Structure 1
Amino acid sequence: MRPERLVPLIVACALFMEQLDSTVIATSLPAIAIDLHEDPIALKLALTSYLLSLAVFIPASGWFADRFGSRTVFRAAIVIFTIGSLLCGLASSLTDFVLYRIIQGMGGAMMVPVGRLVILRTVPKQDIVSALAWLTVPALIGPVLGPPLGGFITTYFDWRYIFFLNIPIGLVGVLLATRFIPDIREDDLPPFDLHGMALSGIGLAGLVFGFALLGQHAVQPWIALVVIVVGAVAMFFYVRHARHTDRPILDLTLLNIPTFFAGVVGASLFRVGIGALPFLLPLMLQLGFGLSPFASGMITFASAAGAMTMKFTAAPIIRAFGFRRVLIVNCFIASACIAVIAVFRPEMSHLALIIALLVGGFFRSLQFTSTNALSYADISSEAMSRATSFASVAQQVSISTGVAVAALVLDSLRSLRGDGTIHLSDFSVAFVVVAMIAVCSVFFFVRLPRDAGAALSGRPRREAAPAEAPGEMGSTA
């Protein structure tokens, strides 16, 4: 196989490893909590720390690849991710586990964006579409295989093997990257926004991680509040910094574009609701229903399977109805599908649960696909990389916030009762709360013009109505 054809395959394998790892752990959280002698809700930190690490380091990935070479950075990212995986498998406490997940996130943040950049710069233009198609396959298959695979390994082996599996894959990835990935560099680079990187990293981590610490019985509430305040202050100074910097690491001026604002900010609010699902659903099925991790994974995989089926119908739906109408109507449908999970009960047929999750996965994925496309509808080619970084950061932060919100609801309910246990009814309340948060995103979509994203949807833009002649005032169309 020619090297230019191997490059997309190598990048796709790296993406598959990252996608599989991020979904496989959710099913194993209760078992990990037992092994580490921790409260299951405390394992929210393992999810939020990884996602936040992605959010903090993704904006720097492109600059580092241009400065130090794409092969060098891509290979280093795989090594860091693999080392983080090994350490996660050896973790003996929650503190260790969270720290090692942050290391994993550092590798993942560099691995996928740099790999995509290599493809765009090395593959001939006539082959780019087929090359990028390789990247969609692991992004779809990973979340489908993740829950049942994680459940199977946890039930019949040990959760630590989930992370050990990444070691041989990572070693092969390093060898292939060394042999086939070109070491592309850029000579004329703007200065790296280290000041902005520090402020935005402290700000995002402080706000989301501090919020996640609320309800942690091992941490005093005032410590969590101090972390949140530090994050808020850092973000305030970042906003001031970005206004006076030519190339800030997160370009806030992009929010002045209506379609980008709706596609990123509106979608972020929706993802706060959706981001709670990988955390809440396995916990409910295992702690509330008493299912094994494997049985739980075989049910939760339905959401990702529904998302896969949507990929073949999203374009025709958007073309037929337009972005604005799809986002508004589908926001209510997708949010209702989250709220429906609140009525799940152990005595219900597993087939009924799977069908409900399959349908919900379809509509949630339609919302994500629509907002992702709309975000770049009016972005110039020159600003595309900055817009991509901004949107990626917003996505990771919103999902992290969703996990923190869900955990806070569960912890608040059991604290009010004072019995220290999580009841099935607590999950019902949590699903309703996150569904209400998700549906609030509709307020960002109703402000869009009717022809928003017409260039992407294939629908004609609305022309301004011509002035009517005096004799036509009473006519009807």
Structure 2
Amino acid sequence: MSDSLQTFDTPTKRILPFILATAIFMQMLDSTILNTSLPSIAADLNESPLNMQNAIISYVLTLALFMPVSGFLADKFGTKKVFIFAIIVFSLGSLFCALSQNLTQLVISRVVQGIGGSLMTPVGRLALLKTYDKNELLRAMNYAIVPALIGPVLGPVVGGYMVDYLSWHWIFLINIPIGFVGIVLSLKYMPNYQSKIITFDLKGFLIFATASLLLSISLEMFGTATHTTPVLMIFILGFLMVYFYYRHASKTENPIFPLNLFQVRTFRVGILGNLATRLGISSVPLLLPLMIQIAYGASAVVSGWIVAPMALTAMFGKSSVIKILNRFGYRKTLMTNTFIIGFLICCLAIPGIQTSIWWFVPIIAVMGFFNSIQFTSMNTISLADLRNSHTSSGNSLIAVNQQLAIGFGIAFGLVVLKLFENNANLNYENTHSAFRYTFIVMGILTILSGFVFRRLHSKDGENMRTDH
């Protein structure tokens, strides 16, 4: 075990980051591994590949629907019970997916998986929040977050190989041994935190869940819709429900997400920064493999390998982030880091159609390093100043926000790409040019999003320092 983890003085503190890591890894792998495997699953189930989108959407929507309730369930039944229940449900969902004989069975199985997934990560992170002192939290979160960086990159590679050399069923069966490890470790080391004061804001949950659902549906449809007007209506309706929730929360005594969460500046900036910076960052793992396959004509496995170095360099970023934050503080680190990531996304537009696709490898490798710093910093600053009474609701809201932010990023990337593809002035090397311009737009947007972190004070996050 790593030396820096040895500094945690109890077995629970040493093992807990790995327990959360198993949950994050399963969820992130599952969100991405399916993308490369859809055509072969479609062929096996005698379905059109276009209909297979339902298998992805059903999972995403279930996450959006149940994530808001994760904090309440953990407070009522205890973090240990809910976390183990979530892993069991997720693993069973994975088994049902592998055994599915048709698309309907697969969609239902994905919903079961989604119920488990919506509770796993938020509840695991809540246990982490309540176990560690503020100055230990950064290191603990740092270990737990690595799978979140590796999952989206390994997913397409592992999925490609499993489909080519085994069968698509294995992309779901791989979760079962990981889930088993998570359950065994949780039984022994997961603490069972409960809250004495529990009130459930059912009306607030229904309004907020409807908002999450409508926003998620619209984001999923933006990428594939031929007519954007109905999708736009659903999107606006989603935002309208957010406003209704705001109205409800301002009058209710114990809303599911208290509005005074947003009076905490570090939480407010963390949530907003997460949403803004992921617009550009989230689209890259989707757009780059697409460009390599469509514009350059390479195989899915090759495109997977080109993105893979991101996972390796993320590990190096993980080992550097604590030193960087201790030295420069959150404000300077997050602003500079966001600018660098934005510049690197713009760099993906440089190689021409005649250039070797391996030129993307160094850009992607450097990006993996800075992504690692970005996600650890954004997640920990959001939690830095939350009071104990706010940890459950704040943590659930961060989970919902991340889920929507990734969806926003992917949908926005696809919309920008479509706009450029439909532009009559781009007739020369049309598709490749459309991708290049898309990367420039996403890069500039990411650079601009760095200014969100200007609202942090230079001393923010001092309580998270590990060198006290």
Q: Describe the SS at the equivalent of 1:312.
A: helix
Residue 201 (structure 2) pairs with residue 190 (structure 1): no
Cα distance in 2, alignment partners of residues 88 and 94 from structure 1 = 10
Which of residues 382, 399, 403 in structure 1 aligns to 2:406?
A: 399
- The 5-angstrom pairing of residues 200-279 of structure 1 reads 200-214=208-222, 216-217=224-225, 221-279=228-286
- Structure 2 letter corresponding to 1:329: T
Q: CA deviation at 1:68?
A: 3.6
Cα distance in 1, alignment partners of residues 295 and 210 from structure 2 = 36
Cα distance in 2, alignment partners of residues 215 and 124 from structure 1 = 42
Cα distance in 1, alignment partners of residues 411 and 283 from structure 2 = 8
Equivalent pair of 1:55/1:392 in contact (CA under 8 Å): no
Q: CA deviation at 1:72?
A: 4.4
Equivalent pair of 2:222/2:415 in contact (CA under 8 Å): yes
Cα distance in 2, alignment partners of residues 366 and 10 from structure 1 = 21
Which residue number in structure 2 is paired with residue 64 of structure 1?
73
Normalising by the residue count of structure 1, what TM-score does the alignment of the two structures yield? 0.80
Q: Describe the SS at the equivalent of 1:290.
A: coil
Which residue number in structure 1 is paired with residue 26 of structure 2?
17
Bigger drift between 113-122 and 437-446 goes to 113-122
Which residue number in structure 2 is paired with residue 439 of structure 1?
447
Q: CA deviation at 1:195?
A: 1.3
Q: CA deviation at 1:265?
A: 0.1
Cα distance in 1, alignment partners of residues 96 and 409 from structure 2 = 26
CA deviations 1:186-238 (Å, max 9, x no partner) are 47332212211111111122124224323635x75443234224322321210
Equivalent pair of 2:353/2:432 in contact (CA under 8 Å): no
- The 5-angstrom pairing of residues 28-427 of structure 1 reads 28=37, 36-38=47-49, 50-70=59-79, 72-89=81-98, 100-117=109-126, 135-136=144-145, 138-139=147-148, 141-143=150-152, 145-167=154-176, 169-170=178-179, 176=184, 180=188, 184=192, 186=194, 188-214=196-222, 216-217=224-225, 221-345=228-352, 347-415=354-422, 423-427=431-435
CA deviations 1:347-402 (Å, max 9, x no partner) are 54454321110111212222222222322333233323332222222111111111
- Structure 2 letter corresponding to 1:200: F
Q: CA deviation at 1:122?
A: 8.4
Q: CA deviation at 1:130?
A: 9.2
Q: 1:116 to 1:451 in 2, by over 3 A?
A: closer
Cα distance in 2, alignment partners of residues 316 and 167 from structure 1 = 36
Bigger drift between 431-440 and 234-243 goes to 431-440
Cα distance in 2, alignment partners of residues 309 and 435 from structure 1 = 23
Cα distance in 2, alignment partners of residues 9 and 311 from structure 1 = 14
Which residue number in structure 1 is paired with residue 458 of structure 2?
450
Q: CA deviation at 1:445?
A: 1.9
Q: 1:204 to 1:440 in 2, by over 3 A?
A: farther
Equivalent pair of 2:420/2:438 in contact (CA under 8 Å): no
Number of residues paired by the alignment? Answer: 454
Q: CA deviation at 1:240?
A: 0.6
CA deviations 1:11-64 (Å, max 9, x no partner) are 54344322332343344467667875345xx87776565445434422322321
Which residue number in structure 2 is paired with residue 464 of structure 1?
none
Bigger drift between 128-137 and 65-74 goes to 128-137
Bigger drift between 158-167 and 90-99 goes to 90-99
Cα distance in 2, alignment partners of residues 132 and 226 from structure 1 = 38
- Structure 1 letter corresponding to 2:262: L
Cα distance in 2, alignment partners of residues 179 and 374 from structure 1 = 30
Cα distance in 2, alignment partners of residues 459 and 105 from structure 1 = 39
Equivalent pair of 1:199/1:238 in contact (CA under 8 Å): yes
Bigger drift between 9-18 and 277-286 goes to 9-18
Equivalent pair of 2:142/2:318 in contact (CA under 8 Å): no
Equivalent pair of 1:267/1:441 in contact (CA under 8 Å): no
Larger C-alpha radius of gyration, 1 or 2?
A: 1
CA deviations 1:290-328 (Å, max 9, x no partner) are 222222221111122222211111222223323222222
Cα distance in 1, alignment partners of residues 191 and 374 from structure 2 = 37
Which residue number in structure 1 is paired with residue 436 of structure 2?
428
Runs of 5+ in structure 1 lacking a partner? Answer: 461-477
- Structure 2 letter corresponding to 1:65: A
- Structure 2 letter corresponding to 1:381: N
Identity of aligned residues (%): 38
- Structure 1 letter corresponding to 2:331: R
Q: 1:66 to 1:376 in 2, by over 3 A?
A: closer
Q: CA deviation at 1:153?
A: 1.4
Cα distance in 2, alignment partners of residues 424 and 34 from structure 1 = 29
Runs of 5+ in structure 2 lacking a partner? Answer: 1-9
CA deviations 1:256-296 (Å, max 9, x no partner) are 22222222202210011111122212222222222222222
Cα distance in 1, alignment partners of residues 217 and 258 from structure 2 = 23
Normalising by the residue count of structure 2, what TM-score does the alignment of the two structures yield? 0.81
Q: CA deviation at 1:144?
A: 5.3
Cα distance in 1, alignment partners of residues 349 and 255 from structure 2 = 43
Equivalent pair of 1:147/1:300 in contact (CA under 8 Å): no
Bigger drift between 62-71 and 238-247 goes to 62-71
Cα distance in 2, alignment partners of residues 373 and 183 from structure 1 = 21
Q: Describe the SS at the equivalent of 2:308.
A: helix
Q: Describe the SS at the equivalent of 1:322.
A: helix
Q: Describe the SS at the equivalent of 1:279.
A: helix
Cα distance in 1, alignment partners of residues 328 and 137 from structure 2 = 29
